[in-house]
Chains A and B, each alone.
Chain A
Amino acid sequence: MPEATFRIKRHNPEKLDDQNGTGDDRYDDFTVPYESSLTVLEGLFYIQENLDGSLSFRYCCRAAVCGSCAMYINGTYRLACQTNVRHLDDGPITVEPMPHMPVVKDLVCDMTDFFAKYETVMPHIIRNSAPPEKEIIQSPEDRKKLDMPVDCILCGSCYSSCPSVWGEGNYLGPAALLKAYRFEVDSRDEARKERLPRFDNERGSYRCHTITNCVEACPKELNPTEAIQWLKGAAVRRRLLGRAK
């Protein structure tokens, strides 16, 4: 039976008061046997059930749609559920929480700021006219503009990977701006000035310096960088030309 070694970064908030005050930060190695197939998430469950009940990590759908289990695996942003160990390099599998974010415990990072910023951009449709009796007509071409942004699962990989976020704690980051884009390009959205000031500023779209780490980090292969450039253009057009949208 093949085996995989998991090298897991540990952090325990209850040990922050200890002598060295680091939260007992360390790497623990675990050996996980498996038959033919093993995802990193399955490996984490094996460890939690059999080797160390105190291990903490997020999980839910195990099918790459809920966005819970984004982690830093062998130095790459990945969904643990979607990562099969047979696709990783030989040797120990290093599993760490997403970097540049505060850690709650072990592989669980603190997403408070991430979701607070998401809420900042008015992540919902804005309508000013009365709703029609039936659906709002939307052409397939207009609908197609939504294909990319609506696939976002808000896992946080892009946000954690963005150097502009690391340097400026107030920067909204790629996920929140992608959400703003998702509504700004929706033909059914009637926002005029409501959402614009939320991203058209130095903590919004202009803080993106097109480093494109987010594109590389995204496990759904989305392109927040491109969306943010669109937001910059849309804001300028609206200011200079006075266009509604």
Chain B
Amino acid sequence: MIYHELVIVGGGLAGLRAAIEAKKQGIDVAIVSQVWPGRSHSGAAQGGVNAALANHPDSADDTWEKHAFDTVKGSDYLADQDAVAQMTKDAIPVIYELDHAGCPFSRFDDGRIAQRPFGGAGYPRTCYGADKTGHYMLHTMVEQAIEAGVPMYVEWFVARLVVDEGVCRGVVAYDMVGGTFELFQAEAVVIATGGAGRVYSNSTNAIISTGYGMAMAYHAGVALKDLEFVQFHPTGLLTTNILMSEGARGEGGYLLNGLGERFMQKYAPKAMELAPRDITSRSIQTEINEGRGIDGKGYVYLDLRHLGAPKILEKLPGIRDLAIHFEGVDPIEEPIPIVPSQHYSMGGIDTDMDGRTSMPGLYAAGECACVSVHGANRLGGNSLLETVVFGRRTGAAAAQYIDGLEDLGGSAAAGEEALADVRDRVRNLANREGGEDPYAIRAAMTSTMKEHFGVFREASVMQAGLDKMLDLKVRVKEAELRHAGGVFNLDMIRTFELEGMVDVALGIAAGALARTESRGSHSRTDFPDRDDANWLKHTLAFYQTDGGPRLEAKAVGLGMFEPQERKY
């Protein structure tokens, strides 16, 4: 048994920032992560992080209120406005804090942090480090956590929570190198495991972005919120769905259809290529569906050639490398073939502004959480921001909770029970001969989500998809492990993940079918309009052992900005 007062599951930006905050407040905190924290998916973020620093010559009168307005409008009014206000206010000191910690942001000539235009933003307020902002921020945060002396359990896969009479008291984790399951007892747990992109076959996300952390909370009875809102990034590479940053369009890149037209003129005449992601992805998909893809095929071009080699090499070197290595295209010479690709989970574990869930002792922060600051559509540059703002707040709230506890230590019995449960699960999987092939189930799930719950949605298509997912949920309970136990057992980790992924995917499917309107990323051809009278509310999904989730509604926090029609 291992004991820390606070266990943080996940070592990306949100988890690291939470750990640093708790440590500052004198808490015995440790990070438990499936990968070395510097390898987390936060590092794949490219374009930047939003804050109304007003450094750009065109943003002298930018304010956090304007950032808040853009965020709320971008969310199609589903974001909670008090949470958005908190985030956009905190954004400014948080960026300075990152700079003071050594984050290598790009600079303007006067030596201040550089900012670029981004989709859906009224001002150029996206702070960036070339097109590798996430990598720079992540490494800076790892460095800060090391300096702070936060212990890290690296390559430990957390399999389940320990819940003792409705209170979260730890986790059970698989030590991948040691090859054993261990119990972590704790006073509180923060889940910071990132998004669930990999439930789709066409995701930009890292392979470890499975949503398993969300599933752990879900299985323990905590609601997942707004799962149906799935962001499709307009520009994923055609062959691999690897992200081509929005920064490419922020720097002036064009989107071209098969006729060579800058087709965004039809859909967002003012914002053009810098319309928000939901609108841009729908525009691309419409061009493709109506036969105006390149050569009539299923993709369009992201064209950077007119930016010229010097600008591409200075501002977008990472994009260029990715296009060369993964698509065989040098953006200096040729346009890049791109398709809308699953990119971000707006939904996640239902939390308040301090990362609290409905379960005492359980917190969540980052993409796995849903505060909600992104509502129905996240603006580019707001996810890196969310991780550091809410990571910090969650670490502080968890620390305060632990300080207020009277009895430390928890009950050993609940922990031992959870550990025995996980070991039983492995034994059952391993002893099941002639069971279902987990990888066949995974492939069926990811293609079902892509085909039935994509950019455009419609009742009969979604119903068929939901039925397939319900069938997969039955099948996954019969999955067979081919390789049991031992060291660095990917078969076991990936089969565990699959069980969680199927439930999260089913939550997306059920929420999408139930929401009979179009809002943000959730775009229904059979209900093309937003319906504030009936649907200006969050969806809460509660796990049920059999079948899909039980759905409930939750009010949206309004008050600053009246819902209006979105035009760009």
Chain A contacts to B: CB under 8 angstroms: 12-14, 37, 48-50, 53-68, 82, 104-106, 108, 110-111, 115, 119, 122-125, 127, 131, 133-140, 143, 146-147, 150-151, 153-154, 183, 186, 188-189
B489 lies within 8 A of A56 (CB): yes
Name A37's contact: one of B208, B239, B481, B490 (CB within 8 Å): B239
A186 and B102 contacting across the interface, CB-CB below 8 Å: yes
Given contacts A59-B207, A60-B35, A151-B132, contact A65 B43 (CB under 8 A): yes
A75 to B481: give the CA distance in the assembly, Å: 33
The total number of A-B Cβ pairs within 8 Å is 156
Point out the residues of chain B lying under 8 angstroms from A115, CB to CB: 36, 154
A24–B110 CA distance with the chains assembled, in angstroms: 61
- By beta carbon, the residue of chain B nearest A154 is B38
Ordered by A's residue number, 9 sampled pairs between the chains whose C-beta atoms are within 8 Å are A14-B486, A48-B490, A53-B482, A123-B143, A125-B100, A131-B100, A135-B105, A137-B111, A150-B139
Residue of B110, B179, B207, B325 near A60 (CB, 8 A) is: B207
Residues of B within 8 A of A125 (CB): 100-102, 143
B147 at the binding interface (Cβ < 8 Å)? yes
Q: Taking beta carbons and an 8 Å cutoff, which residues of B are in contact with A? A: 35-36, 38-41, 43-44, 53, 95-96, 99-102, 104-113, 129-130, 132, 135-136, 139, 143-144, 146-147, 154, 177, 179, 206-208, 239-240, 242-243, 318, 321-322, 325-326, 439, 481-483, 486-491
A104-B111 CB under 8 A given contacts A64-B325, A68-B35: no
Q: Are A188 and B322 in contact (CB under 8 A)?
A: no
Tell me the nearest residue of chain B to A111, going by C-beta. Answer: B36
Q: How far is the CB of B422 from chain A (nearest CB, A)?
A: 19
Task: For the complex, give the distance between the alpha carbons of A59 and B35 in Å.
Answer: 9
- Inter-chain contacts of B242 with A (CB < 8 A): 62-63
A60 touches B41 (CB 8 A): yes
Instruction: List A contacts of B104 (CB < 8 A).
Output: 143, 146, 150, 186
Candidates B38, B146, B322; contact of A64 at CB < 8 Å: B322
Q: How far is the CA of A123 from the CA of B101 in the complex (A)?
A: 11
**B34 and chain A: residue at smallest CB distance:** A60
Least CB distance, A56 to chain B, in whole angstroms: 4
Contact status of A183 and B487, CB under 8 A, knowing A50-B439, A63-B44, A66-B206: no
Query: What residues of chain B lie closer than 8 Å to A65, measured between beta carbons?
Result: 43-44, 132, 135, 318
Residues of chain B lying within 8 A (CB to CB) of residue A136: 99-100
How close is B154's CB to chain A, nearest CB, in angstroms? 8
Asked, given contacts A64-B321, A189-B102, whether A138 binds B107 with beta carbons under 8 Å apart, the answer is yes
Give chain B residues whose Cβ lies under 8 Å from the Cβ of A137. 110-112
Q: Give the residue among A12, A60, A140, A147 with the most B Cβ atoms within 10 A.
A: A60
Determine whether the beta carbon of A153 is less than 8 Å from that of B135.
Answer: yes
Q: CB-nearest residue of chain A relative to B108?
A: A140
CA distance A122 to B136 in the complex (A): 17
Task: Look across to chain A and name the residue whose beta carbon is closest to the beta carbon of B322.
Answer: A63
Given A124-B144, A139-B111, A143-B107, A66–B101 Cβ distance below 8 Å?
no
Instruction: Answer whether A55 and B490 are a contact pair too, CB < 8 Å, given A49-B439, A67-B39, A119-B146.
Output: yes
A-B pairs with lowest CB-CB distance, top 8:
A125-B102, A53-B482, A137-B111, A53-B483, A124-B143, A53-B491, A56-B488, A49-B439
Residue of B nearest to A221 (CB): B321
Per the bound structure, the CA–CA distance linking A66 and B38 in Å amounts to 7
| A65, A115, A186, most chain B CB atoms within 10 A | A65
Known A108-B488, A140-B107, A150-B139; judge A61-B206 contact (CB<8 A): yes
Q: A37 contacts which chain B residues (CB < 8 A)?
A: 239
Do residues A124 and B146 form an inter-chain contact, with CB atoms below 8 A?
Answer: yes
A66 touches B43 (CB 8 A): yes
Q: By the criterion CB–CB under 8 Å, are A188 and B135 in contact?
A: no
Q: Are the C-beta atoms of B102 and A188 separated by less than 8 Å?
A: yes
For residue B323, give the distance in angstroms from its CB to the closest CB of chain A: 11
Given contacts A150-B129, A188-B102, 18 further A-B contacts (CB under 8 A): A37-B239, A54-B482, A60-B35, A63-B240, A65-B132, A66-B35, A66-B206, A68-B35, A82-B325, A108-B488, A111-B36, A124-B101, A124-B144, A135-B105, A140-B108, A150-B135, A150-B136, A153-B38
Contacts of B318 in A (CB 8 A): 65
A138 to B: closest C-beta gap in Å: 5
* Nearest residue, chain A, Cβ from B143: A124
Contacts of B38 in A (CB 8 A): 66-67, 153-154
| Complex Cα spacing A133 to B481, Å | 56
Q: Check if B143 sits within 8 Å of A60, measured CB to CB.
A: no
Report B142 CB to chain A, min CB distance, Å: 8
Using known A-B contacts A62-B207, A124-B146, determine if residue A183 contacts B41 with beta carbons closer than 8 Å: no
Please determine whether A14 and B487 come into contact, CB atoms closer than 8 angstroms.
yes
Q: In whole Å, how far is B9's beta carbon from the nearest beta carbon of chain A?
A: 16
A13 to B36, Cβ gap below 8 A? no
User: Are B490 and A61 in contact (CB-based, < 8 A)?
Assistant: no
Instruction: Give the CA-CA distance A63 to B41 in the complex, in Å.
Output: 10
A111–B105 CA distance with the chains assembled, in angstroms: 29
Closest chain-A Cβ to B548's Cβ sits at a distance in Å of 27
Q: How far is the CA of A57 from the CA of B489 in the complex (A)?
A: 9
User: Please, which residues of chain A bring their CB within 8 A of the CB of B132?
Assistant: 65, 150-151
Task: Kindly list chain B residues whose C-beta atoms are within 8 Å of the C-beta of A147.
Answer: 130
Question: Do residues B102 and A183 form an inter-chain contact, with CB atoms below 8 A?
Answer: yes
Q: Are B488 and A104 in contact (CB under 8 A)?
A: yes
Bound complex: CA of A196 vs CA of B91, how far in Å? 34
Chain A residues with CB below 8 A from B108, complex form: 140
The distance from the CB of B471 to the nearest CB of chain A, in whole angstroms, is 21
Most buried by B among A57, A63, A108: A63
Give complex CA distance A82, B240 in Å.
11
Contacts of B490 in A (CB 8 A): 48, 53, 55-57
Task: Give the shortest distance, in Å, between B12 (CB) and chain A (any CB).
Answer: 11
CA distance A183 to B140 in the complex (A): 11
Nearest-neighbor residue (CB-CB) of A50 within chain B? B439
Whole-angstrom distance between the Cβ of A76 and the nearest chain B Cβ: 15
Contact A104 B139 (CB under 8 A): no
Nearest CB in chain B: distance from A187 CB, A: 9
Give chain A nearest CB distance to B277 CB in angstroms: 19
Q: A111-B36, A115-B36, A134-B96 are in contact. Are A48 and B488 (CB under 8 A)?
A: no
Q: Which of A53, A54, A68, A137 has the most CB of B within 10 A?
A: A53
Residues of chain A lying within 8 A (CB to CB) of residue B113? 135
Closest residue of A by beta carbon distance from B99:
A135
| C-alpha gap A108/B300 in the complex (Å) | 39
| Complex contacts, B136 vs chain A, CB 8 Å | 150
Q: Are A62 and B99 in contact, with the CB atoms below 8 A?
A: no
**Whole-angstrom distance between the alpha carbons of A12 and B147 in the complex?**
35
Residues of chain B lying within 8 A (CB to CB) of residue A146? 104
Query: B531 to nearest A CB, angstroms?
Result: 38
Shortest Cβ distance from A131 into chain B, in angstroms? 4
